[in-house]
Amino acid sequence: MADQVCVGAIAGAFGVRGEVRLKSFCADPESIADYSPLTGDNGVSYSVTLSRPISNGFAAWLGGVETKEQADALKGVQLFAPRDRLPVPEDEEYYHADLIGLRVVDTGGTEIGVIRAVHDHGAGDLLEIMGPGLKATVLLPFTRVCVPTVDLAGGKVVADPPEGLF
């Protein structure tokens, strides 16, 4: 799936005629339809037509989904677009998919762990890091102060975490 990027997820049915609740992970949420057709993690390809904005996403029609039961069955399916259809990130911008799995080292070069996920709760991205010496995952703010270097080619990020975080 390295050539695919997760751009959204189906949150269930919307109404009784086969529309779905669609959650977009795109910087411009409406652009998810521009990358149609999208491939679900269930292996099925769907054309996407947005009908209207709703709370936490969009009401949307997916090609081949015509009933509420079909829409309900798709709840939780993640939708992927080919990377070559997405815009190239600008300098200092990264797709979350490119960060997940990168090694995390401190400014002295000591291995801290690996990025397990990237979370965005509205106040900025957080890197979820898991490592051999950690009892639980740790959330590190994804800011220039805490993560001064991202080396995608080298497969790592350099972290300067606040005192006591690790």
Top-confidence residue, 2 or 35: 35
pTM for the model: 0.78
Of 118, 122, 113, 129, the closest CA to residue 95 belongs to 118
Give the mean model confidence (pLDDT) for residues 35-41: 95
Report residue 3's pLDDT band, with 50, 70 and 90 as the boundaries: confident
Which residues have C-beta within 8 Å of that of residue 61, sequence separation ≥ 6? 18, 19, 20, 48, 49, 51
Sign of torsion over alpha carbons 72, 74, 76, 78: negative
Strand partners, 159: 106
Top-confidence residue, 19 or 2: 19
DSSP letter, residue 87: P
Distance set, CA 89 to CA 21, 23, 24, 41, 83 (Å): 27, 21, 17, 24, 11
pLDDT of residue 1: 53
User: Tens of pLDDT along 52-87?
Assistant: 999 989 999 999 999 999 999 999 999 999 999 999
What domains can you pick out in the chain, each with its CATH number? 4-85 (2.40.30.60), 96-159 (2.30.30.240)
